[in-house]
């Protein structure tokens, strides 16, 4: 069966530094994957490549049966199905609602649907009633949850999360642990990078261990 996403012989060099060297990784749809490994082992680099934001130096990716061709028009189309939530997300100094609506406006979603989707996403991340708050004035954990809501409204097939719980308190992490399986039920595939020692198992995720840019 064709995997949802496959990486073949991917290498990424930053100048002469070899940051990533992976032989073969296959991801099935509707599953949760956790990338684990120490600082600098290549987790964020891998997420950025999978998000089609960073071109590998060598190698091939096949996403939903289609070989990725690194041409702008092609990438823009494929990126419609993929969203990466960065570890320290950039939020505009506007309201939470404005921040989440941004991507929807870019896609031409009408304002009634924007409101419905934003309301639902804020509820999912436990930030009901935060729409009018100024995004930059929120705590680090709340900002991370706004960034997740911003990703959710776009309903990606592939959701990539770079250390999503790093700023979250215990209650938020518990809510987040319940949210991910719900998203999988709705059809999403999730790949997260995490330093949490127990969360990958709690989520029953497939663990991908990395070491010095390779699979451990």
Ligand X SMILES: Nc1ncnc2c1ncn2[C@@H]1O[C@H](COP(=O)(O)OP(=O)(O)OP(=O)(O)O)[C@@H](O)[C@H]1O
Cβ at position 40, least distance to ligand X in Å = 4
Element (H, E) at 33: strand 32-36
Minimum CB distance to ligand X, residue 198 (Å): 17
14 or 70, CB closer to ligand X? 14
- What span, in angstroms and rounded, lies between the C-alpha atoms of 113 and 109? 6
For the bound state, the minimum distance from the C-beta of residue 120 to ligand X, rounded and expressed in Å, comes to 30
Q: Which is nearer to ligand X, 19 or 151 (CB)?
A: 19
The whole-angstrom separation of Cα 190 and Cα 204 is 12
Q: What are the angstrom distances between the C-alpha of 24 and each of 18, 60, 199, 207?
A: 17, 10, 25, 15
If the CB atoms of residues 13 and 98 are measured against ligand X, the closer one turns out to be 13
Q: Nearer to ligand X by C-beta: 49 or 125?
A: 49
Token pair for residue 156?
A: 């990606």
Kindly tell me which of 37 and 156 has the beta carbon lying closer to ligand X: 37
- In what helix (H) or strand (E) does residue 35 lie, and over which residues does it extend? strand 32-36
The residues of the shown chain that bind ligand X, judged by CB under 6 A, are: 14, 17, 19, 37, 39-45, 193
Q: Which ranges of 135-190 would DSSP assign to H, the alpha helix?
A: 140-152, 170-185
Q: Closest approach of Cβ 59 to ligand X, in Å? A: 15
How big, in percent rounded to 5, are the helix, strand and coil portions of the chain?
Answer: 35, 25, 35
- In the complex, minimum distance from the CB of residue 189 to ligand X, in angstroms, rounded to a whole number: 20
């Amino acid at each position: 069966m064709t995997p949802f996403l496959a990486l073949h012989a991917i290498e990424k060099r930053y100048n002469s530094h070899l940051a990533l060297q992976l032989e073969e990784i296959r991801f099935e749809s509707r599953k949760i994957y956790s990338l684990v490994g120490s600082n600098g082992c290549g987790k964020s680099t891998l997420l950025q490549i999978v998000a089609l934001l960073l071109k590998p130096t060598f190698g091939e990716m096949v996403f939903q049966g289609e070989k990725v061709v690194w041409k702008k028009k092609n990438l823009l189309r494929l990126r419609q199905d993929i969203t990466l939530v960065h570890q320290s997300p950039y939020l505009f100094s506007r309201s939470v609602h404005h921040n989440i609506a941004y991507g929807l406006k870019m896609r031409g979603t009408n304002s009634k649907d924007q409101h419905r989707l934003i309301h639902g996403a804020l509820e999912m991340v436990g930030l009901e009633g935060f729409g009018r708050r100024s995004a930059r004035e929120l705590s680090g954990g709340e900002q991370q949850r706004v960034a997740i809501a911003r990703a959710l409204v776009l309903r990606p097939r592939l959701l990539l999360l770079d250390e999503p719980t790093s700023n979250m308190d215990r209650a938020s992490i518990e809510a987040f642990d319940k949210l991910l399986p719900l998203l999988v039920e709705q059809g999403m595939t999730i790949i997260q990078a995490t330093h949490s020692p127990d969360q990958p198992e709690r989520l029953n995720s497939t663990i991908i261990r990395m070491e010095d840019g390779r699979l451990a």
